[in-house]
Amino acid sequence: MKKLIFFNWKCHPENLFQADRLLAYIRNKEFLKEFEVFVCPPFVFLERLSQEPLIKTCAQDCFWQEGPFTGEVSPLMLKSVKCDYVILGHSERKRLFGEDEKTTNRKLKAALAAKLRPLLFFGEEEKLAIEGARQEILRQLRISLAGLDKKALSKTIFVYEPAFAISTQAGQPLTLKEIEEKIRFSRKTLGEKAMVLYGGSVDESNIKEYLEKTGIDGVVIGQTSLDPKRIKKIVEICLKRD
């Protein structure tokens, strides 16, 4: 099965011209043949980027219903622009906008009901000892997944991304051994068939080892995905044969 690579642009770029520059190297035909590739742009670019051949789009968030909710975007709106994936529970939503796992749970149920495929983010806010980290992972998953059955779990992509490892925060990347242990524990909790990705300062210096040596099903790339030169390097490294 192909590994998944998500490029999360967050609140960037400023316009479609700059977005096209970021896409230039992602469009590499060999890269798109080797990996399942997704771009997570701001809402305003989704409709345009959904026209990209072989590159799938993923929204950065959604609300849990339609109605008089100024500034929000519903799951059905995402479907209407041919977007089939959505990020939920990202640590920046929790840290900056006060969202919690109960909020994530409501969004997750709404996304699944609209036949969106969610990327459910989870992970510790700060670095903890092994047992403390496991308990925090269990707490987040238990609340986020409350009321969902095995069928819903099978349609969910899980992303282990500890907040302290994100480059825009503390930026403390995990070792291969640490990632492998967390992924193994996550699958033990979710089921061995669960699709689990990793995020947290993924860049050209570590992506190949992460993909090949930790047991993950793919990665989410944040800040690095905003630099065309670094994207080019990532593509080259991912395609390099040992």
For the question of residue 90 being annotated catalytic, the response is yes
- Please identify which of the residues 99, 101, 161, 204 carries the catalytic annotation: 161
Could you give the angle at the alpha carbon of 58 between the alpha carbons of 39 and 222, nearest 5°? 50
User: Exposure string (b/e) for 139-162, b if CB count within 10 Å is 16 or more?
Assistant: ebbeebbeeeeeebbeebbbbbbb
Tokens of 42: 């701001």
- Please identify which of the residues 36, 90, 136, 204 carries the catalytic annotation: 90
Distance (Å, whole) CA 218 – CA 37: 10
CA atoms within 13 A on the CB side of 31: 20
Helices 16-26 & 228-239 angle (0-180, nearest 10): 20
Q: 3-state SS of the chain: helix, strand, coil percent to 5?
A: 45, 15, 40
Catalytically active residues are 90, 161
